[in-house]
Amino acid sequence: MKLLVFAHRTEAKAFFEKFNFKPVNINFQNVFQDENLLLLICGEGLQETTQRLSAVCGFFYGKISEILNFGVAGSLSTKIELDKIYSIRTSYAQNLSKTTEFNSFSTTDESAKIDCISSLERILSDEKADTLSHFADLVDRELWAIGSVCKLFKIPFRSYKIVSDLAGNSTQCFDIQEKADFFSTKLFDFYQNLEVKNELLPLRNKFPVGFYFTTTQEKIYSNTLKSLNIKLQKNETEILQNIDLKAIGEKSSKPKERTNLLLEKLNSLLNPFSSTLQTKLNELIKPLKEANCSVKFAKDFENDIFTLNAKIENKKNLEKLKIALANFEYEKVIKILNGEF
């Protein structure tokens, strides 16, 4: 399995939102697993990173096939673009005498051209930044330790850094929290494209006659399939073997509805918890839908607020809506939205 390593939880926020990571029962926190994918929050600094990553590699000895590091780094060169993600070639480190460590560690990305140096402290002056710029284009606090542990356990690794700012005096004025969501989302999108196999077959060649895809449905299908490809480490053919296409075809006579059912099935594979939650909610809001009243919940069910939108064409519609609202089990809906199934 692969291990994703982040220094801070904010950098991994989008990954927690998209995957179903659960804490691993190990002797310290910040280790998570979603089926065949691990995630570690290693903390800031070489010592903490070395300790935590070594513990995880020892706990899962022989099971980790590759380590992928994602995170934020500062620029030491004017040729580096802010907000851009760079693949790292080699990692260097600053030692206690403020020179560089003799050992350096290279990633497995042969196309990478940017080097990164791990500093013992945050670089808050132009003078310190200039000193480090002789060795690398980027600076972080943990990559060298990751490379060191990977060498010890003979695990290949890659690293991808998004550039937050120009290291030096201006760093003191830069608040990374202001762009934390942006950085995390961009790292996740990059990871998603990075891991997708090139084995996805043409959409229309894969399904039986009777499935019709609108432009929007094609986009949803493609994005969901990419996420499943990463999560399950399976290609399109293997993923669709988990779906009973024949049963879907028999359930609805309308091609577009069949496609919606297929997308629901794929989404349930990707997010089983959200799928279960949505199923229970659908049972409770069914009377409202039958009364021409749609219910819109918050994105990813992040809170228990929802919106009702009713269409009333005549008095009969109004009376039906009144009855549906009077019988609406609001308390049950709120409990489900708060995880009380």
Q: What is the pLDDT along the chain (341 residues), one digit of tens a residue?
A: 899 999 999 999 999 998 989 999 887 789 999 988 999 999 988 999 999 999 999 999 999 999 999 999 998 888 889 999 999 999 998 765 555 566 889 999 888 999 999 988 776 677 777 778 778 889 999 999 999 999 999 999 999 999 988 776 666 555 667 788 999 999 999 998 886 643 444 444 455 556 777 878 888 888 888 888 777 777 787 888 888 888 887 887 677 788 888 888 888 888 777 777 888 898 999 999 999 999 998 876 777 889 999 989 999 999 999 999 999 999 999 888 876 76
For residue 143, the domain's CATH number is: 3.40.50.1580
Same domain, 143 and 249: no
**Range 317-320 contact pairs with CB under 8 angstroms and sequence separation of 24 or more:** 317/291, 317/292, 320/290, 320/291, 320/292
Whole-angstrom distance, CA of residue 252 vs CA of residue 247: 9
Strand partners, 91: 105, 116
Domain that holds residue 232: 196-270
CA 321, CA 327: separation in Å to the nearest integer?
A: 10
Together in a domain, 119 and 237: no
CA distance 40 to 28: 11
Look up residue 19 and give its two tokens. Answer: 């995957």
Q: How many CB atoms lie within 10 A of CB 102?
A: 8
164, 195, 226 — which closes off a domain? Answer: 195
Residue finishing a domain among 145, 173, 195: 195
- Last-in-domain residue among 229, 246, 270: 270
Burial 205-242 (b: 16+ CB within 10 A, else e): eebeeebebeeebeebbeebbbbbbbbbebbbeebbee
The whole-number pLDDT of residue 21 equals: 92
Same domain, residue pair 207 and 179: no
Answer whether 254's CB lies under 8 Å from 248's CB.
no
Distance of CA 305 to the CA centre of its chain: 24
- Is the domain of 28 the same as that of 170? yes
- Report the pLDDT value the prediction gives residue 110, as an integer from 0 to 100: 84
Same domain (yes/no): 55, 118: yes
Dist. CA 35–CA 272, nearest whole Å: 12
Please check whether residue 70 is in contact with residue 10, taking contact to mean a CB–CB distance below 8 angstroms.
Answer: no
SS3 163: strand
Q: How far apart are CA 82 and CA 103, in angstroms?
A: 28
Statement to judge: residues 76 and 102 lie in one domain: yes
User: 204 and 333: one domain?
Assistant: no
Nearest to 328 by CA among 291, 285, 293: 285
Instruction: Provide the pLDDT for residue 99.
Output: 54
Residue by residue, DSSP assigns 97-127 as: TSSB-S--EE-S-TT--EEEEE-SS---SHH
Q: What pLDDT shows up at residue 100?
A: 59
**Cα angle: 72, vertex 76, 77; to 5 degrees:** 115
- Is the domain of 27 the same as that of 138? yes
Alpha helices in the chain (DSSP H): 13-18, 46-59, 126-132, 143-153, 180-195, 203-206, 215-232, 236-240, 245-251, 255-270, 272-290, 315-326, 330-337
Please indicate, yes or no, whether residues 126 and 57 belong to a single structural domain of this protein.
yes
For residues 265 and 280, state if they share a domain. no
Mutual angle of helices 180-195 and 215-232, in 10-degree steps: 80
User: Do 269 and 228 touch, CB atoms closer than 8 A?
Assistant: yes
- Residues 53 and 179 placed together within one structural domain of the fold: yes
DSSP letter at 7? S
How many distinct structural domains can be found in the chain?
Answer: 3
Domain identity same for 85 and 212 = no
**What residues have CB less than 8 Å from 96, skipping those under 6 apart?**
120
